[in-house]
A and B are shown apart, each in its own frame.
Chain A
Amino acid sequence: MPKISDSTSLDNIVCPFCSLHCDDISIDVNDNKLSVKNDLLPSCKEKFEKYNRKDFNDQPSKIKGKETDNKKTTDYCRTLINNSNETLILNASSDVNICREILSSASKINAIVDHINSSIFLKNISLYQRRGYMTTSLTEIKNKSDVIILFSNNMLKLYPRLIEMVIAPKNSFSVKPKNKKIFIIGDKKNNLDNCTIKDSRITFIDYKNKDIPLLLQSIINKENKTQLNNQVFNILLKNIDKSKYLTMLWSTSEFIEYKECDQIIHKISEYIVSLNETSRAACLSMSGNDGDASSIQTTAWISGYPTRVKFTGSYFEFDKDSHNSNQLIESNSIDLVIYINTISSKKLILNKKHKNIIIGQPATKYNTEPDVFIPCGIPGIDYKGHIFRTDNVVSLPLSEIKISKHRSAQEILREIIR
């Protein structure tokens, strides 16, 4: 256990904040303050270093916005939980061990458990719940993919080191790195982050992702029915035709607002499946940055289902509709929501019609004051943990790199739910 006054330099630290979970982070810790040594984007460094802020470290528990102590908070939470007829525990971002605790807590009070991004990741899961799916993982893409297509407007905002670490690496053992062909296909107007990369291997194609099914059908038919000019279309077609390990990536969260979302992802998957009859190809739907993969995996092995479960006395039961947190919150079918947000800085949107408890990392944002806010430590900064990467197959250890004044989410859950 380190001491606050210790000065130390840590290497190979895993970043908990985006689902690439890069594990090459070097950090100096002086007087319990973090300083990232790597030459990273400022946005990546800031994700660690903002937790040096005194107001975050000293953040107190609050009841209805008023500062209070742990005991009063615990007592009040217990009262809310005891008075609740239907409680939802909503995982807004956490690692494996917190997911374990969420499910254990839910089993004590017969609560419903859902993840905040379940509407998105259930679409990805449907790819293999309904049909065939050929997928891959990051190291395979780095070394084996000769042609890579990213369907994305802002993937690089979501995964800042994706190009450097995976898509266009310096080293690759079965394809010469310089021979890799990378196409980033997206709406140029919304694609500023992607377009700033300077790499001769990368071609940007301005295209509306809503129309991906049309593009793929045109590729299948070898006849351009899209808005792309024929020259661009033919370059894409030629590279796909000669590819030995084509990879297509996307992030379903970018398509979720489109009514064509299901059609888009299923068309990509079907196309990849068809290519594998004679060649090799794979797709990868990138998981979200809110511990989505950890939640899916842990909930699946403990309950048998990926999310939207309720403990009913002996086992967890799954119901895609009646345990859908969005619907439960909107329809006010529950009377208490316990948000667990240990990693993400996204704003939580609370519904004041029912009681809300947030167990949240200190930078947690919310639209309106919850009934209770309890600050918790962050796995990977304040506590050890274990988190799944975007490809759902690699999981990495999270380290305790500074001393936290805040309790872990597990400890708080065990305290308030008995």
Chain B
Amino acid sequence: MSTLHLKNGKVFDPINNIFNKKKDIYINQGKIVKSLDKKAQQIIDCQDKIIMPGAIDLHTHIGGGKVNIARIMLQEFHNNNDNDYDLTANFVPSTLKTGLQYIEMGYTSCFEPALLPINARQSHAEMADIPFIDKGGYAMLGNDDFLLDLISRGADQSEINDYVAFVIKASQCIGIKVVNPGGINAFKFNQRALNVDENSIRYKITPRKIVHKLARAVYELGIPHPLHVHCSNLGVPGNFKSTIDTIKAAEGLPIHITHIQFHSYGNNGDRNFSSASAEITEHLNKIPNLTCDVGQVLFGQTATMSGDSMKQHANHKHAHPDKWLCMDIECEAGCGVVPFKYTDQSFVNALQWAIGLETFLLAEDANKIFLTTDHPNGAPFTSYPHLIKLLMDKTFRDDLLDQMSTDISQHTILKDIKREYTLSEIATMTRSAPARILGLENKGSLSENADADITIYDSNINDIEKMFAHPCHVIKDGIEVVRNGEIKNYMWGKTQVVKPEYDLSIEKKLDKYFKKFHTIGLSNYIISDDEMSETIGSDININNCIRKRIS
């Protein structure tokens, strides 16, 4: 592995409180080092260049059953031209193209947020075939009959913790996600909605209880990433109240609300659809343990894909083109794939666009809000540079608002918001903050011993969108993989996981349960470390968990 010297760049390294400071960076054996004993094998002149850690996408649907369903369902949209940064490029790219498009934008770690444990083997195999980037998954719980049964029987928190720890280990994940808590399961029993304080028909428990139990388990097990929550009532006008109720359900425990834009809707006005970004960000700004990612909507064709089969089924009438799929999966969860075209001719879509931007701009701390489009649900990840420009350039976003086919100016406060994100804030929300919240101690940072995942931008490019779309160099694990838009080296990243400790007696209970009710055995549900590297094709990197206890 070569040594590198990045000379004279303008460094943005939020973890070390370094912003726009001239600095040299040295790399040896894939790690950042203080200095090199001898002249580096490769020197990159970074005069007029901006150096940041590699970007991290903490919520992007890049691997698993629903992604592949969308690929197959919407194959007519595949666009295999070489213009990888293209808003019209296919929104469910192949694994190869996913890796190419991410690395060419300077993203070096990406996380699949809805990994069904029963489908984990597929998700990991798929992600293993994505070149360049490190990846990981959040195991979906909270609609699985085993957990709901435990909660409904009043099981001790320690037993729930053991189960959560078992699942995250067995499925080789880094976090736990709950999607429409209890709602996917309730849909299997023909409930069409489940509010935060409503009992499910079968288990007689509320989403509030599920969220609290899981948030506590994640906290007590010391899993760094807080419970990743897709709230109840996705997309429903007036749903901001459910979102606030869900936040409160955590009772102060760390919680991450995902694609919060889709959960920040009021039902005021003559169209019964309004922005509630102010109410939501008020909570975000004042609650210390609350973080979110936005799930920004941008206009164009895309595919929505979610574990939330309850809401995806309800939305299938909006499918564009008119085809869709919903699936009940293995007494664990479900999924729904519904293609959708966001257009500024639609009042609702235009306001969704504004609500997302309002949320970004009203959030006071870039450490608590993350740049996502919920790829591909709000827009494909290739639109991130465009989104960054919207956040950094008020004139640009005001112009776009003025040019919209639908006049939403009376329904959004966007024009009143003067804030423009700084490069430092962009670096924080796309690098240091996601690394910290995922517990990736060696990522998102240019500290000594950090992984040498680095993106170098040309500061002479005046258009910030172009600058972020086309970094001049991308370095992954100390190897220059992109130079001026050209791939220099192919490589494969690792799968980031955590392995919290638990009482093994839970496996005996699960073994009995699997024998009785499942169609596979527990031993084949578990993915071993050897299987990850030998058969699935990705080595793992284990991140630390530190157990905590609520007195």
Which residues 255-305 of B sit at the A interface, judged by CB distance below 8 A?
A: none
Which residues 59-118 of B sit at the A interface, judged by CB distance below 8 A?
A: 63, 65, 67-69, 71-73, 75, 78, 80, 82, 90, 92-97, 116, 118
Residues of A with C-beta under 8 A to B153: none
Whole-angstrom CA separation of A385 from B531 in the bound complex? 9
Task: Establish whether residues B129 and A302, one from each chain, have CB atoms under 8 Å apart when the complex forms.
Answer: yes
Q: A-facing mask of B500-531, CB < 8 A → 1, else 0?
A: 00000000000000001111110110010001
In the complex, whether B323 has a CB less than 8 A from a CB of chain A is yes
Which one, B68, B327, B527, contacts A300 given CB within 8 A? B68
Residues of A with C-beta under 8 A to B535: 97, 384-386, 397
CB distance from A234 to the nearest CB of B (A): 24
Task: Establish whether residues A301 and B126, one from each chain, have CB atoms under 8 Å apart when the complex forms.
Answer: yes
Which one, B97, B190, B323, contacts A315 given CB within 8 A? B97
In the complex, whether B189 has a CB less than 8 A from a CB of chain A is yes
Q: Chain A interface residue count: which class?
A: 35 or more
Which residues 184-226 of B sit at the A interface, judged by CB distance below 8 A?
A: 187-190, 202
Task: Establish whether residues B531 and A174, one from each chain, have CB atoms under 8 Å apart when the complex forms.
Answer: no
Q: Which residue of the partner chain B has the closest CB to A136? A: B328
Whole-angstrom CA separation of A100 from B190 in the bound complex? 40
Interface centre among B90, B190, B202 (most CB of A within 10 A): B190
Q: Which residue of the partner chain A has the closest CB to B94? A: A304
Whole-angstrom CA separation of A148 from B499 in the bound complex? 40
Which one, B72, B80, B519, contacts A139 given CB within 8 A? B519
Whole-angstrom CA separation of A317 from B78 in the bound complex? 9
Interface-forming stretch among A66-74, A127-135, A217-225? Answer: A127-135
CB distance from A166 to the nearest CB of B (A): 6
Q: Which residue of the partner chain A has the closest CB to B319? A: A132
Which one, A128, A297, A385, A386, contacts B73 given CB within 8 A? A128
Q: Which residue of the partner chain B has the closest CB to A122? A: B72
Q: Which residue of the partner chain B has the closest CB to A131? A: B323
In the complex, whether A208 has a CB less than 8 A from a CB of chain B is no
In the complex with contacts A245-B188, A318-B75, A172-B520 CB distance below 8 A: no
Task: Establish whether residues A139 and B518, one from each chain, have CB atoms under 8 Å apart when the complex forms.
Answer: yes
Whole-angstrom CA separation of A315 from B81 in the bound complex? 9
CB distance from B139 to the nearest CB of A (A): 15
CB distance from B100 to the nearest CB of A (A): 10
Residues of B with C-beta under 8 A to A279: 190
In the complex with contacts A143-B331, A397-B531, A132-B121 CB distance below 8 A: no
Q: Which residue of the partner chain A has the closest CB to B130? A: A301
Task: Establish whether residues B534 and A393, one from each chain, have CB atoms under 8 Å apart when the complex forms.
Answer: no
Task: Establish whether residues B520 and A396, one from each chain, have CB atoms under 8 Å apart when the complex forms.
Answer: yes
Q: Which residue of the partner chain A has the closest CB to B118? A: A394
Which residues 310-345 of A sit at the B interface, judged by CB distance below 8 A?
A: 314-318
- Looking at chain A's contact residues, the main secondary structure is mixed
In the complex, whether A207 has a CB less than 8 A from a CB of chain B is no
Which one, A135, A244, A303, A316, contacts B325 given CB within 8 A? A135
Whole-angstrom CA separation of A296 from B126 in the bound complex? 13
In the complex, whether A142 has a CB less than 8 A from a CB of chain B is yes
Whole-angstrom CA separation of A279 from B520 in the bound complex? 28
Which one, A24, A139, A280, A296, contacts B517 given CB within 8 A? A139
Task: Establish whether residues A305 and B323, one from each chain, have CB atoms under 8 Å apart when the complex forms.
Answer: no
Task: Establish whether residues B521 and A302, one from each chain, have CB atoms under 8 Å apart when the complex forms.
Answer: no
CB distance from A342 to the nearest CB of B (A): 15
Q: Which residue of the partner chain B has the closest CB to A398? A: B535
Q: Which residue of the partner chain B has the closest CB to A395? A: B121
In the complex, whether B442 has a CB less than 8 A from a CB of chain A is no
Task: Establish whether residues B331 and A140, one from each chain, have CB atoms under 8 Å apart when the complex forms.
Answer: yes
In the complex, whether A9 has a CB less than 8 A from a CB of chain B is no
In the complex, whether A392 has a CB less than 8 A from a CB of chain B is yes
Which residues 298-341 of B sit at the A interface, judged by CB distance below 8 A?
A: 313, 316, 319, 322-331, 337
In the complex, whether B119 has a CB less than 8 A from a CB of chain A is yes
In the complex, whether A165 has a CB less than 8 A from a CB of chain B is yes
Q: Which residue of the partner chain B has the closest CB to A130? A: B323
Whole-angstrom CA separation of A276 from B202 in the bound complex? 19
In the complex, whether B122 has a CB less than 8 A from a CB of chain A is yes
Whole-angstrom CA separation of A136 from B184 in the bound complex? 13
Whole-angstrom CA separation of A157 from B509 in the bound complex? 34
In the complex, whether B448 has a CB less than 8 A from a CB of chain A is no
Interface centre among B90, B517, B531 (most CB of A within 10 A): B517
Interface residues of B (CB under 8 A from A): 63, 65, 67-69, 71-73, 75, 78, 80, 82, 90, 92-97, 116, 118-119, 121-122, 125-126, 129, 145, 187-190, 202, 313, 316, 319, 322-331, 337, 516-521, 523-524, 527, 531, 534-537
Q: What are 17 pairs between A and B in contact, CB < 8 Å?
A: A12-B524, A128-B323, A128-B337, A132-B316, A132-B319, A132-B325, A133-B324, A135-B327, A136-B327, A139-B519, A144-B328, A173-B517, A245-B188, A301-B71, A306-B75, A393-B327, A395-B121
4 smallest CB-CB distances across A and B, nearest first, come from A315-B80, A304-B94, A139-B330, A128-B325
